Amino acid sequence: MITREQILQWLETLAGVLEDNQDYLSELDAAIGDGDHGINMNRGFQKVRTQLPNLGDRDIGGIFKTVSMTLISSVGGASGPLYGTLFLRSSMGVGGKSELTPEEMGGVLQAWVEGVVQRGKANLGDKTMLDALSPASDAYQQALAQGASGIEALQQAVAAAEAGMKNTIPLVAKKGRASYLGERSAQHQDPGATSSYLMLKTLQETVAGSP
Ligand code: ADP
Ligand code: MG
């Protein structure tokens, strides 16, 4: 089970992780975009952080909805609407819930993928955040189907997200700003896939109790 309190703790920890990784994410974006991905993500999640004290009595759907609205209203660039839609889509299946079963967590991961696709229309291999999120969701489902616990499945998801993130390096970008570079976008790791990996890794660490 993943509790509402763990979700709030994850968001708090994630705000710190994105603060620590602001320069790294922006450097990745400087190579193939406009160098603002770390700034965008940090700005959005510091805003989320200020909302957390007001969310003490909200269910998980309400928490995700607030995160979504906060990101959409405070983050410019592609990543605001993309992460905003990701959280919005996942809020829909978990309304009224104060904890998530491993199966429900799988539904959340699936909804993240659907939200990103709905908003950005990327395909797998387009060198976007989808290349981390989609393999993560698949690995999670596969692990559960093979009898893994929720925590073990999350570990598999993080490993798949990390591999997916690294696999973006040779890819030529087909979506977003990086696609303007064409072939020159290859040999660089996608910033959005990297922030998505960090998001999943922080979730797994929070749930495992070792942030
Ligand atoms: P911007 O490109 O507007 O400056 P950011 O730098 O914050 O926005 O985010 C860039 C990241 O957004 C990319 O690394 C990529 O992962 C992601 N991205 C861009 N376009 C799409 C899309 N259509 N679908 C999914 N992800 C996308
Ligand atoms: Mg950018």
27-50 tens-digit pLDDT: 999 999 999 999 999 999 999 999
pLDDT value of position 56? 84
Residue nearest to atom 6 of ligand 1 (CA): 37
Q: Is 199's pLDDT higher than 90? A: yes
Q: How many residues does the chain have?
A: 211
As a whole-number percent, the residues of the chain with pLDDT over 90 amount to 96
Q: What pLDDT is attached to residue 76?
A: 84
CA distance 9 to 86: 19
Kindly give the distance from the C-alpha atom of residue 36 to the centroid of ligand 1, in angstroms, as a whole number.
Answer: 10
Q: What is the DSSP secondary structure assignment for residue 160, as one 8-state letter? A: H
Give the Cα separation of 117 and 119 in Å (integer).
5
Domain ranges of the chain: 2-209
Ligand 1 atom nearest to CA at 29: 6
Q: Whose CA is nearest to atom 4 of ligand 1?
A: 77
Which residues are in the CB-under-5-Å shell of ion ligand 2? 29, 33-34, 36-37
Give me ligand 1 centre to Cα 193, in Å: 9
Domain 2-209 classified CATH 1.25.40.340? yes
Give distance in angstroms: CA of 56 to centre of ligand 1: 31
Q: Distance, CA 79 to ligand 1 centroid (Å)?
A: 5
Other C-beta atoms closer than 10 Å to the C-beta of 56 total 10
The one-letter code for the residue type at 8 is: L
